[in-house]
A and B are shown apart, each in its own frame.
Chain A
Amino acid sequence: MRTTRGFIAGGLALLLASAVVTQAAEGWTEFRARPGAGSKALIEGSSNIHDWRVQGLIIGGGVEVGPNFPADAASAKPGKLDAKSTVRIPVRSLKSIKEDGSPYNAAMDDIMYGKLKMEEQKDIEFTLSTLTLKEVKDKTCLLDAEGELKVAGVTKKITLPMEMTFPEANRLKFSGQVDAKMTDFGIEPPAPAIAGGLIKTEDAIKFSFDWVVVKR
């Protein structure tokens, strides 16, 4: 009997909590990353012997957009947008590639994983704090995404300029690129001992991405 009563009480509490959550989320819409939607992250850099590039095709997470978030480019107006987002890229899904996109070198991947402290830090994460629509140009919304980027366990506040388009109903596509330095995240640019220190990787990198999310 006590068990039944407890169960009913628990159920009521859950219903009440659900109602509160529903109330809080009213007017908000969730978009989630989907496989095969065309998401891609690219990190490019250089060294004194050749350029290099690393690609990731798994970009997880999602965006919750609020009442003032535009349904299309035509209705978009400059200003702060209601949006919450966390994006994650599994470190081990990043692979070095050649210019033509084919796999490059597994040993290079292992070096990168070491530098990104993959064993302790499984993901690269970006948590959005403020999303500002600057202007609308040719059906493209130009945005500034402020937030925290966590790489190799080091968190930095960044502003990420990006574009948002509406490729089709129920879909949002975010694209952008930003310059950064490895040392900003405590990563010493690789200087392979095997080459007697003659090969030096540049500190500067360029991060670019396409991220497509689909309405749930």
Chain B
Amino acid sequence: MLARTWTGGIFGPHMNRMDTTQDVTRRDFIKGGSVATLMTMLGGIELTARAAEAEAPAAPAAKVPKTRCAVIGLGSWGREIVSTLSRIERAEIAAVCDTYGASLKRAARSAPGAAQVQDYRKILEDDSVPAVIVATPTHLHRQIVIEALEAGKQVYCEAPLAHTIDDARAIALAARKATSQHFQSGLQLRADKHRAFVLNFIRSGARGKAVAARAQYHKKQSWRQAAPSPERELELNWRLNPETSVGMVGELGIHQLDASNWIHDALPVAVTGFGSTMLWRDGRELPDTSQLVVEYGNGVRLVQTCTLANSFEGEYEVYYGTDGTVTFLGSKSWLFKEADAPLLGWEVYARKDSFYQENGIALMMDASKQASHTQQVADVITPLQYALDNFLQTASVVKAAAEDFTETYGEDEEALKEHMASSAVPRQPGAGYLEGYQATVLAIKAHESILKNQKVELPANLFELA
């Protein structure tokens, strides 16, 4: 029952490591290189976080304190989380949890020392496990997350928070109430250092005034998974069930929707969607292809396409401005300046994606393959890895701060709340309950719009918590 499917993509660490359905991996190799090279040939300037990192003094190696955590829900995405945690120095995977035995066993391969638990309540009762990561199917989040918060756990909840606005609100309100705990929504791009670097760059005005945005998530895959029994089939394919799923835009597109809100520093006022089934005519009721127009109040619109019927160009985002265009592709970004854009200065010395030029991998599939084979996975810090690392680090700081405060001053709820919100409790970047709630609301409304093939207005109070 507790199985969340991972569908890969930039929101997962390795685009080619699909373990579910009919994925066209060969295209991924071409795609990764060709778009990058094309962008370079068009004169793209790669935006890297290296300059910013260079300004910070080198941090000496320190013993990183471990944080014990548990992963609840071990579908392919949950197992990817376990695998990612196993590469994070501060993570100690104390337990893995799923009601389905086979999933438990598969997850345990990445966490050999972890307890294998079928009832999540056992984890919630275990005081030695302060942090939990909830990666169950979306419609099961509410009960588990709220019980976890009530049990005093630090909670990471995968995105979307829920499949209904009521459930999302209940989760967000419970997280807001838990002032001495850390809650992080699984909108992992918010934790990505590279994204933060580019965001500062955009906010500095280098792109000029915002004009429009475009995003796509294309991946040829069924989403339907084979199961040994009808009951298991129902559990496993919850994404295809209209009662439990918020569709492609909710399960995949939500990350791009949130990224767009973040970059535009605004919430949309309306969304118009179109959906159709173009390939997977297997009785499913949800479309496998959708187009979405997200309107911000100032005339800026994001156009997002999602499909499970085609893989061309995978997933990316493009943010157009009057002075330039910023693109995100995987963990890289480029700036394409307009001819009349003012000289920034630094771009004269900036690398014009010389990695691809020197190696020529983009235009030669075999070369691309070779590069993929020799690339050290450990060198690639994925958004998920940033998000989980940041979660554990903040969870540890928040827990310690609450304990120290209470031991020093006794119980004083108001003062504790003030202290926890202060700079004395530094938090690593990541999406909180409000960002999680707002992105979830937008995704649910976008899904509704796609199903109806019509415009849905988004009044400002829709995004406010009671």
Write out, one digit per residue, whether chain A residues 119-158 have a CB within 8 A of any chain B CB (1) or not (0): 0000000000000000000000000000000000000000
Task: State whether B404 touches A193 (Cβ < 8 A).
Answer: no
In the complex, residue of chain A having the shortest beta-carbon distance to the beta carbon of B61: A194
Is A103 interfacial (CB-CB < 8 Å)? yes
Task: State whether A60 touches B408 (Cβ < 8 A).
Answer: yes
Complex Cα distance A34/B414, Å? 12
Is B59 interfacial (CB-CB < 8 Å)? yes
> Most chain-B CB neighbours within 10 Å: which of A36, A59, A113, A190?
A36
Q: A33-B408, A92-B404, A95-B424 known; A113 and B61 CB under 8 Å?
A: no
Is A9 interfacial (CB-CB < 8 Å)? no
Q: A35-B415, A107-B59, A192-B59 known; A90 and B393 CB under 8 Å?
A: no
Q: A192-B58, A195-B58, A199-B58 known; A93 and B404 CB under 8 Å?
A: yes
**Chain A residues whose CB sits within 8 angstroms of the CB of B63 once the complex forms:** 110, 114
Interface of chain B: mostly helix, strand, loop or mixed: loop
Contact of A35 (CB < 8 Å), options: B397, B400, B409: B409
Write out, one digit per residue, whether chain B residues 370-407 have a CB within 8 A of any chain A CB (1) or not (0): 00000000000000000000000100010011001101
Is B299 interfacial (CB-CB < 8 Å)? no
Complex Cα distance A90/B401, Å? 9
Complex Cα distance A144/B422, Å? 32
- Measured CB to CB, the closest approach of chain A to B134, in angstroms, equals 24
Residue count of chain A within 8 Å CB distance of chain B: 36
Task: State whether A199 touches B60 (Cβ < 8 A).
Answer: yes
Complex Cα distance A105/B412, Å? 29
Task: State whether B62 touches A114 (Cβ < 8 A).
Answer: yes
Contact of A33 (CB < 8 Å), options: B60, B393, B401, B409: B409
Contact of A195 (CB < 8 Å), options: B60, B64, B415, B423: B60
Complex Cα distance A93/B407, Å? 12
Q: A92-B400, A106-B428, A113-B65 known; A58 and B408 CB under 8 Å?
A: yes
> Most chain-A CB neighbours within 10 Å: which of B58, B59, B418?
B59
**Chain B residues whose CB sits within 8 angstroms of the CB of A92 once the complex forms:** 400, 404
- Measured CB to CB, the closest approach of chain B to A62, in angstroms, equals 11
Q: What size tier do the contact residues of chain B reach?
A: 20 to 34
Task: State whether B408 touches A111 (Cβ < 8 A).
Answer: no
**Chain B residues whose CB sits within 8 angstroms of the CB of A195 once the complex forms:** 58, 60
Chain A: residues with CB nearer than 8 A to chain B?
33-36, 49-50, 55-60, 88, 90, 92-93, 95, 97, 101-103, 105-108, 110-111, 113-114, 190-195, 199
18 more A-B contacts (CB under 8 A) besides A35-B409, A35-B419, A193-B61?
A: A34-B409, A35-B405, A35-B408, A36-B419, A57-B419, A57-B424, A58-B409, A90-B408, A93-B424, A101-B423, A103-B426, A106-B428, A110-B64, A110-B65, A113-B62, A114-B62, A192-B60, A199-B57
Q: Which 10 A-B pairs have the closest CB atoms?
A: A192-B60, A103-B426, A60-B408, A107-B59, A35-B415, A110-B62, A57-B424, A111-B62, A90-B404, A35-B409
Chain B: residues with CB nearer than 8 A to chain A?
56-65, 393, 397, 400-401, 404-405, 407-409, 412, 415-416, 418-419, 422-424, 426, 428
A-B contact pairs, 28 of them (CB 8 A): A33-B408, A35-B416, A35-B418, A55-B424, A57-B422, A58-B408, A59-B408, A60-B408, A90-B404, A90-B408, A92-B400, A97-B423, A103-B423, A105-B56, A106-B393, A106-B426, A107-B59, A107-B60, A110-B63, A110-B64, A110-B65, A111-B60, A111-B62, A114-B63, A190-B60, A192-B59, A194-B59, A195-B60
